[in-house]
Structure 1
Amino acid sequence: MSTRITLCFCTYNRAENLPSLVASIREQQCEIPIRILAINNNSRDHTLATLQALQQLPGHPLDFVTEQEQGIVPARNRALEECLNDEFMIFIDDDEIPLPGLIQSAYLALKEGYHVVGGKVLIAFDNKRPAWLSDELLPFLAAIDYGDQDFEIRNDQHPLWTANIAYRMEIFRRYPELRFNKNFNRVGNVVGGGEDGIMFRQFLENESIKLGYIPGMAVDHYVEEWRLRRLYFLNLHHRAGYRRGRFREPMYERRLFGAPKFLYRNLATQTATATLHSLRQFSPAIREWMTVSHTMGMIRGYRDRRHDKEKGQCA
């Protein structure tokens, strides 16, 4: 086992982000050696050439591999396999910049007994923030800010995302089944995912895994323009509802077209509420329509689940 900490990011067609990202990682300091690992997920731009050039520059060593299976889940699982012999590992995203002290803060927390730690994800707006984008909606852009004090996480009220998370790698050696779930894969710019949320729940269910929030771990997250539109939030919730209905929720006896009947009642009520809010121009109207979109996604997920069962593809 190598006594080092590897900071890993998965990347797809964002070559222009890589020089500033790698430079900011190389500014990080830690008591143990730092390695940078990039997982190239079949990028079609000049990502490979950029990584090769960055590899020659001074600073913390940069390694990179190409994961041939498309999607964030295969890329992140490949990263876990590449780091299994390391003592510690950090995930951030390729549209982020780590703030000073991130790696050292993660290392100290893991060294002191935590198995999984995460910190702040601060949304950085290149352009003007949309007026409708309230603080309530920022978590749907992966924003995290639970304050300035460390604390142990014991429930799902304070989730941690792979936008900024660190692991003691022994948990993945001890539990080889602990990997990102391919049912929640996300390819390219397709919205959705949720694979890190599934793993977070697995951490909580395992009493031997200690989780913590470490505010000294912080990143700036630069959100692309296409995510700052209402349609993105609606699609995100539709996709989340679809996967919940298709893969996670129990089957009910009282169904209509494969979906539980109560979902149709919920959809009617939610649609009426969202329509009323829109007509009266209430500020939370987008939030109400996100709920409608989520329920519609669940209904579609249940219906596809029924078709899968009829085809013998799943129980």
Structure 2
Amino acid sequence: MKSPVAENNEITVAICSYNAAHYLPKLLEALVTQNCPIPFNILIVDNNSTDNTRALVADFAAASRIPVRYVHEPEQGIVFARNRAINESLAGRYIAFIDADELPEEKWLQSAVLSLSNDEVDCVGGRINVSLSSRPHWLSDDLLPFYGQLEHGPHPFRIIDESKPIWSGNVAYNMRLFRSGLLRFDNRYNRKGEGIGGGSDAVMFQQLLKNNCHLMYEPNMSILHLIPESKIKRSYFLKLHFIAGKKSGLYKANPGGKRIFGIPGFMFLQLFKKFFRVIVLYFEQPHAYMREAMNLTYHLGMMRSWAKLKLFLN
């Protein structure tokens, strides 16, 4: 995707923050010690925080050798914060996103810039490790990707399909992608405040693939995702999938066929089968039932969205 060369040969490290002042000091300290082959600045997009984020960033910026910028984004939600970060960074060559509850490893920024320095590359993402304050027996390894854990191996490669995703908690873009104003995170998949779910990063990833953009995985672009105790609960995973199911039902194709309360009739039979399987797994394979319970709540979310659409149509 061709565009005029950026005016400033620099990269912005963007942090979208909502009531995350308790995370920011360690993250900012880790960022200012990063080695980077080009100049970089740090941008904090404060999405209506009610804590001391503004004052904390002001104090840190006053003493930092790396430029630190602060902007307030009044429209609530991660999508609006990310899009504000993009709009604030259009004069630079690259932008890298890292979440407030993450910490970069030593070569994170350097690896992102070296990958993007290949002019063919539009976007690069890397490894995400998770740090858990506790590990209950039901939290199996196959559930960790729902905390963002991502590991595609020790070697960099070009991503050509959805089987090897990269996520917006650890991703960097060439700003030429955004200068036309046509490409932004989709606000239909917004996540507000302390809510969970969303899906805007997955939609962005799909859109880049659809447009034949050059995407890379770079394992040395590695971060640690800090998981709070409040998310180490089965209810977190079930709610996450219920919300994802609702959004899938709202924004994707609605199947035809006979309806019951606005819901396709076959969905009720599938619901019964999934519920029965959850019960069986709970007693026979207690380590495995959570995945099926998550599938069940996703299914319920889709049913809920279609019933809601039926009411709107009437």
- Say yes or no: does 1:22 pair with 2:28: yes
- Say yes or no: does 1:118 pair with 2:122: no
Whichever residue aligns with residue 117 of structure 1, its letter is V
Secondary structure class of the residue paired with 1:16: coil
- Say yes or no: does 1:284 pair with 2:288: yes
State how far apart, in whole Å, the 1-side matches of 2:105 and 2:219 are.
11
Match of 2:162 in 1: 156
Q: CA deviation at 1:185?
A: 0.8
Match of 2:54 in 1: 48
Secondary structure class of the residue paired with 2:65: coil
State how far apart, in whole Å, the 2-side matches of 1:246 and 1:256 are.
17
| 1:1-315 matched pairs, under 5 angstroms | 1-112=7-118, 113-125=120-132, 127-174=133-180, 176-207=181-212, 209-310=213-314
Q: CA deviation at 1:6?
A: 0.6
Secondary structure class of the residue paired with 1:25: helix
Q: CA deviation at 1:201?
A: 0.6
Structure 1 gap ranges (5+):
311-315
Q: How many residues align?
A: 307
Q: CA deviation at 1:227?
A: 0.9
Give the alignment's Cα RMSD to 1 decimal: 1.2
Whichever residue aligns with residue 87 of structure 2, its letter is E
Preserved CA contact (<8 Å) 1:246 1:304: no
Length-normalised TM-score, structure 1: 0.95
Q: How big is each residue's C-alpha offset from its partner over 1:240-276, in whole Å with a ceiling of 9 and x where there is no partner?
A: 0000001123342332222222222211111100011
Q: CA deviation at 1:159?
A: 1.1
Q: How big is each residue's C-alpha offset from its partner over 1:103-125, in whole Å with a ceiling of 9 and x where there is no partner?
A: 11111111112101100110012
Secondary structure class of the residue paired with 1:31: coil
Preserved CA contact (<8 Å) 2:138 2:286: no
Q: CA deviation at 1:281?
A: 4.3
Preserved CA contact (<8 Å) 2:257 2:265: no
> Which portions of structure 1, spanning 4 or more consecutive aligned residues, are displaced by more than 4 angstroms?
none
Q: CA deviation at 1:34?
A: 0.7
Secondary structure class of the residue paired with 1:155: coil
Match of 2:4 in 1: none
Length-normalised TM-score, structure 2: 0.95
Pick closer, same or farther for the CA change 1:308–1:111 going to 2, 3 Å.
farther
State how far apart, in whole Å, the 2-side matches of 1:308 and 1:40 are.
35
Whichever residue aligns with residue 245 of structure 1, its letter is G
Secondary structure class of the residue paired with 2:179: helix
Preserved CA contact (<8 Å) 2:116 2:123: yes
State how far apart, in whole Å, the 2-side matches of 1:308 and 1:99 are.
48
Whichever residue aligns with residue 266 of structure 2, its letter is F
Match of 1:313 in 2: none
State how far apart, in whole Å, the 1-side matches of 2:259 and 2:216 are.
41
State how far apart, in whole Å, the 2-side matches of 1:135 and 1:59 are.
40
State how far apart, in whole Å, the 2-side matches of 1:239 and 1:212 are.
29
Q: How big is each residue's C-alpha offset from its partner over 1:19-65, in whole Å with a ceiling of 9 and x where there is no partner?
A: 11101000101111011000000100111110110111132110010
State how far apart, in whole Å, the 1-side matches of 2:109 and 2:313 are.
46
Question: Comparing 161-170 with 180-189, which one deviates more in the overlay?
Answer: 180-189
Preserved CA contact (<8 Å) 2:140 2:287: no
Q: How big is each residue's C-alpha offset from its partner over 1:180-199, in whole Å with a ceiling of 9 and x where there is no partner?
A: 11111111121111111111
Whichever residue aligns with residue 134 of structure 2, its letter is K
Preserved CA contact (<8 Å) 2:134 2:232: no
State how far apart, in whole Å, the 2-side matches of 1:92 and 1:16 are.
16
User: What's the % identity of the aligned pairs?
Assistant: 37
Whichever residue aligns with residue 178 of structure 1, its letter is L
